Amino acid sequence: RIVYVNGNYVPESEATVSVFDRGFLFADAVYEVTAVVGGKLIDFDGHVTRLKRSVAELSMPAEVDEAKLRGIHEELVSRNDIDEGLVYLQLTRGAADRDFLYPDTSTTPTLVLFTQKKAVVENPAAERGMAVVSLPDLRWDRRDIKTVQLLYPSMAKMEAKAQGADDAWLVEDGMVTEATSANAYIVTGDGTIVTRGLSNAILHGITRRAVLALAEEAGLKVEERGFTIDEAKAAREAFVTSASAFVMPVVSIDGAKIGDGSVGPLARRLRGIYLEALAA
Ligand code: PLP
């Protein structure tokens, strides 16, 4: 694989980052994951806009140049022959002597990108549906910033696996925030799609925005509000969205079947609408 590190395209075995990099020492880094379908980047503008916001929220003295970043993404997709998969981008505050204070603004940020081949469209999980378990949301309060502090989501996913499930839905003050790496939704008895409103409690998903817009265009009812695990268990359907999973049905929560325990028609339809929009 060819990866990108600070201006250079190099084989992954030759790519290096300093041990003093603040991304490594302090998780002082932000990231984005953009899906690739048919060799094309999906919703790239949305990902760059969110990256700019993450950079601004952390006062990182890094320039986010959309055209330049698009060029790097496209170059990696081409050099690695990615038809379907992902491009991962990570931007850190750079390497500096270890200190909790940010280094002065002359420190050069570190920019790393790599690709992953992955069958994102024909994903068998979309036919099977996912089992999730609820776990407390013990992440920090700025989940709207897409930082690489992913240890708790990683622990939660391990715990979900230990319980025989595919993922966790995280709960704070009795309400579901989101999944470990996706936004969470339920469909109520009258067919309304419910997902938590935007705030610092969740990541503002790029797929969330696209799917909610497509749902409204299709005349579906959408309500942005919190919901409990009990409401989710009693819901007609449940699903999650993310750049790599698109719309992914959830068929059980804490061992309780959602609806009849099979993939819901609305989740299936939304996945279809989303994939059609990608192909257009
Ligand atoms: N929520 C969290 C915590 C995530 O990590 C992600 C994606 O990685 C999402 C939601 C979905 O965001 P997006 O649709 O932009 O991939």
Give the model confidence (pLDDT) of 84-125 as tens digits: 999 999 999 999 999 999 999 999 999 999 999 999 999 999
Residues 103 and 214 in one domain: no
How many domains are contained in the chain?
2
In Å, what is the CA distance from 184 to each residue of 29, 110, 179, 217, 270?
Answer: 25, 32, 6, 20, 14
Is pLDDT at 279 greater than 90 in this prediction?
Answer: no
Q: Rounded to the nearest whole angstrom, what is the distance from the C-alpha of residue 55 to the centroid of ligand 1?
A: 17
What tokens appear for 16 in the block?
Answer: 């290096």
- Sign of the Cα torsion 1, 153, 182, 267 reads positive
pLDDT per residue as tens digits for the range 40-92 = 999 999 999 999 999 999 999 999 999 999 999 999 999 999 999 999 999 99
Residues 79 and 189 in one domain: no
In sequence order, what are the residues at sequence separation of 6 or more whose Cβ sits closer than 8 angstroms to the Cβ of residue 271?
126, 246, 247, 248, 249
**Which among 146, 157, 161, 233 is annotated as catalytic?**
146
Q: Rounded to the nearest whole angstrom, what is the distance from the C-alpha of residue 64 to the centroid of ligand 1?
A: 20
Residues 8 and 94 in one domain: yes
93 lines ligand 1 (CB under 6 A): no
Residues 103 and 222 in one domain: no
pLDDT per residue as tens digits for the range 243-256 = 999 999 999 999 99
Residues 159 and 140 in one domain: yes
Write the DSSP string, 138-194: -S-S-TTS-BS--HHHHHHHHHHHHTT-SEEEEEETTEEEEESSSEEEEE-TTS-EE
Of 83, 117, 151, the one marking the end of a domain is 117
Q: Rounded to the nearest whole angstrom, what is the distance from the C-alpha of residue 73 to the centroid of ligand 1?
A: 19
Q: Report the DSSP pairing between strands 183-187 and 130-136.
A: unpaired
What's the CATH number where 46 sits?
Answer: 3.30.470.10
Q: Rounded to the nearest whole angstrom, what is the distance from the C-alpha of residue 33 to the centroid of ligand 1?
A: 9
What's the CATH number where 240 sits?
Answer: 3.20.10.10
Average pLDDT, the chain: 97
- For 158, phi then psi, to 5°, come to -65, -40
Q: Rounded to the nearest whole angstrom, what is the distance from the C-alpha of residue 124 to the centroid of ligand 1?
A: 20
178 lines ligand 1 (CB under 6 A): yes
Atom of ligand 1 nearest to the CA of 150: 5
Is 157 considered catalytic here? Answer: no
Residues 180 and 216 in one domain: yes
47 lines ligand 1 (CB under 6 A): no
Residues 51 and 84 in one domain: yes
Residues 178 and 249 in one domain: yes
In sequence order, what are the residues at sequence separation of 6 or more whose Cβ sits closer than 8 angstroms to the Cβ of residue 101?
none
- Sign of the Cα torsion 61, 65, 208, 89 reads negative
Of 86, 117, 148, the one marking the end of a domain is 117
Atom of ligand 1 nearest to the CA of 178: 1
- Give the closest residue (by CA) to ligand 1 atom 8: 181
Average pLDDT over residues 166-183: 98
**What is the Cα–Cα distance from 44 to 35, expressed in whole angstroms?**
9
Average pLDDT over residues 196-220: 98
- Give the closest residue (by CA) to ligand 1 atom 5: 181
Q: Looking at residue 227, what is its pLDDT?
A: 98
Enumerate the β-bridge partners of residue 92.
Answer: 29, 110
Is pLDDT at 280 greater than 90 in this prediction?
Answer: no
Confidence of residue 10 (pLDDT cuts 50, 70, 90): very high
Q: Domain of residue 270: give its range.
A: 124-279
CA atoms within a 13 Å half-sphere pointing along the CA-CB vector of 53: 17
Q: What is the ipTM of this complex?
A: 0.99
Of 67, 102, 117, the one marking the end of a domain is 117
182 lines ligand 1 (CB under 6 A): yes
| H/E run at residue 37 | strand 29-37
In sequence order, what are the residues at sequence separation of 6 or more whose Cβ sits closer than 8 angstroms to the Cβ of residue 115?
1, 3, 36, 76, 77, 80, 82, 85, 86, 87, 88
Residues 166 and 207 in one domain: yes
Which residue type occupies 14?
Answer: E
Residues 105 and 180 in one domain: no
Nearest Cα residue to 89 out of 107, 103, 68, 108: 68
Residues 185 and 75 in one domain: no
Atom of ligand 1 nearest to the CA of 47: 15
Residues 90 and 139 in one domain: no
pTM, 2 dp: 0.97
139 lines ligand 1 (CB under 6 A): no
In Å, what is the CA distance from 87 to each residue of 75, 140, 167?
Answer: 11, 26, 22
